[in-house]
Amino acid sequence: MQAADFSATLQNLFEKGVRYGTVIDLGCADGHFVLNHLSCLSGAAPLNIDANRIYEDSLKAIKEALGGHYRICAITDHEGEIEITESVHPYWSSLRPAGDIYWSRVNDLTTSKVKVPATTLDALAKELSLEPPFLIKLDVQGAEMAALKGARDVLENCSVVVCEADIDDFQDINAALLEAGFFLYDLTTLQRLRDGTLGWFYPVYVSGKLTHLKPQAFWEAGDNAAVIGVQETRRKMILERNRKILNRLRYGQSKVSRNDPCPCGSEQKFKHCCGSY
């Protein structure tokens, strides 16, 4: 069970006139995010970033076709080198060390530790002279807070942030982006676990500089009469359901023949009314 994908939200923002100079995909894997959203990223240069070299051929092909840049490195809150813990599947590799709660959520499917070059998003944006405004997508397996700490300047010039968020990490991510001047625009791609609990999802944040994109009312004033009519109809239906449920509770166990009139006064036979439950 899942909610709508964030593609619809990005298209909605595009239709409202939001455009980007650079699309920055942190934890891009094979770079499919940019390719799958070309229609609403029109004119934006891609910057695909991932720490795993397994993706380099794919990212190089995207650069050759679309331009822009790619980097094989980790994005965190400092420059230099950092250790990542690799997983049995590269999608799950993370800056979080073995033993961290992140790994228990993926059943401790770790393999080895490797050192990779690391930098901050601010340093990389300066090095590459990236053109704002930015769209940032984060899918960095639990390393979101470190990436955001190293992106203060970039966030100042960022219009939209899409971020994969584990249910337990969401509060910190949300607080950091609200503090950076963003507002929560949508919650998308809700992923539920086998027992029905919420596991992870993709919140979409929009810069506070674009608050005009957020409707101030839930519906247009011209629709007031129609909305009121819907609510009146809904209440009538609720009251009718309530009446039937209460009558079943009152009369459902009555000692009357199934073919007798129902004691609730419906003028139906008991077996077709309260006695049918």
Residue 6 has pLDDT above 60, yes or no: yes
Average pLDDT over residues 242-267: 89
Residue 242 has pLDDT above 80, yes or no: yes
Give the span between the Cα atoms of 113 and 272, in whole angstroms.
69
Domains of the chain (ranges; CATH) run 6-213 (3.40.50.150), 221-272 (no CATH)
Residue 4 has pLDDT above 70, yes or no: no
At 2 the pLDDT is: 44
Residue 109 has pLDDT above 90, yes or no: no
**Amino acid letter, residue 99:** G
How far apart, in Å, are the Cα atoms of 86 and each of 49, 79, 109, 147, 202?
17, 20, 9, 18, 23
pLDDT band at 1 (very low <50, low <70, confident <90, very high): very low
At 157 the pLDDT is: 97
Average pLDDT over residues 201-226: 94
Show the CA angle centred on residue 230, arms to residues 225 and 235, nearest 5°: 125
At 146 the pLDDT is: 93
* pLDDT > 70 in the chain, percent: 98
pLDDT band at 90 (very low <50, low <70, confident <90, very high): confident
Give the span between the Cα atoms of 212 and 15, in whole angstroms.
14
pLDDT in tens, 151-165: 999 999 999 999 999
Average pLDDT over residues 218-232: 95
Residue 215 or 30, more confident: 30
In this predicted structure, which of 99-103, 122-126, 242-246 has the lowest mean pLDDT? 99-103
Average pLDDT over residues 241-260: 89
Residue 153 or 256, more confident: 153
* Cβ neighbours of 140 (radius 10 Å): 26
Give the span between the Cα atoms of 54 and 194, in whole angstroms.
31
Q: What is the DSSP letter of 97?
A: P
Average pLDDT over residues 98-116: 83
Average pLDDT over residues 79-108: 83
The torsion angles phi and psi of 80, rounded to 5 degrees, stand at 135, -115
Tokens coding 180: 């950076």
Average pLDDT over residues 41-48: 95
Averaged confidence pLDDT in the chain:
92
Beta strand 134-138 with 165-166: parallel, antiparallel or unpaired? Answer: unpaired
At 5 the pLDDT is: 87
Residue 50 has pLDDT above 80, yes or no: yes
* Cβ neighbours of 32 (radius 10 Å): 13
